[in-house]
Amino acid sequence: MQETLSVPNDVAAELAGIGDGVLESLRDRLRCTIHLRGNRLTIEGADEHVDQARAVIDEIVELVEGGHEIGPSTVDAVLGVLDKGEDVRDVFEDVVWRHRGKKIAPKTVNQKRYVDSIRNHTVTFAIGPAGTGKTYLAMALAVAALQEREVGRIILTRPAVEAGERLGFLPGDMLAKVDPYLRPLYDALYDMLEADRLTSYMERGIIEVAPLAFMRGRTLNDSFIILDEAQNTSPEQMQMFLTRLGFGSKVVVTGDVTQIDLPRDQASGLIQVQNILGTIEGIAFINFGHEDVVRHKLVQRIVEAYKSHAEETGTARQK
**pLDDT-based confidence at residue 166 (cuts at 50, 70, 90):** very low
User: What secondary structure letter does DSSP report for 2?
Assistant: E
* CA 227/CA 268 separation, integer angstroms: 14
**pLDDT-based confidence at residue 67 (cuts at 50, 70, 90):** confident
List Cα–Cα distances, 99 to 65, 140, 214, in angstroms: 20, 10, 30
Fold of 2-92: Ribosomal Protein S8; Chain: A, domain 1 (3.30.1370)
* CA 232/CA 256 separation, integer angstroms: 9
pLDDT at 113 over 70: yes
pLDDT at 168 over 60: no
Domain residue spans of the chain? 2-92, 97-313
Q: What is the pLDDT of residue 25?
A: 80
Question: How large is the average pLDDT for residues 90-94?
Answer: 81
- 8 Å CB contact between 7 and 57: yes
pLDDT at 187 over 50: yes
**pLDDT-based confidence at residue 176 (cuts at 50, 70, 90):** low
pLDDT at 285 over 90: yes
Percent of the chain predicted with pLDDT > 70: 90
Q: What is the pLDDT of residue 167?
A: 47
E strand map for 105-192: 123-127, 153-158
- 8 Å CB contact between 97 and 143: yes
Q: What is the pLDDT of residue 163?
A: 41
Fold of 97-313: Rossmann fold (3.40.50)
Average pLDDT across the chain, whole number = 85
Q: What is the pLDDT of residue 177?
A: 59
What's the pLDDT tens digit per position in 206-259? 999 888 988 999 999 999 999 999 999 999 999 999 999 999 999 999 999 988
Q: What is the pLDDT of residue 164?
A: 42
Q: What is the pLDDT of residue 183?
A: 82
Between 134 and 307, the more confident residue is 134
Residues 6+ apart with CB under 8 A from 299: 130, 131, 293
Nearest CA to 185 among 147, 135, 230, 150?
135
Between 50 and 29, the more confident residue is 50
pLDDT at 175 over 70: no
Q: What is the pLDDT of residue 317?
A: 72
What's the pLDDT tens digit per position in 269-281? 999 999 999 899 9
pLDDT at 162 over 90: no
**pLDDT-based confidence at residue 192 (cuts at 50, 70, 90):** very high
pLDDT at 38 over 60: yes
CA atoms within 13 A on the CB side of 55: 18
Query: How would you classify the pairing of strands 40-44 and 33-37?
Result: antiparallel
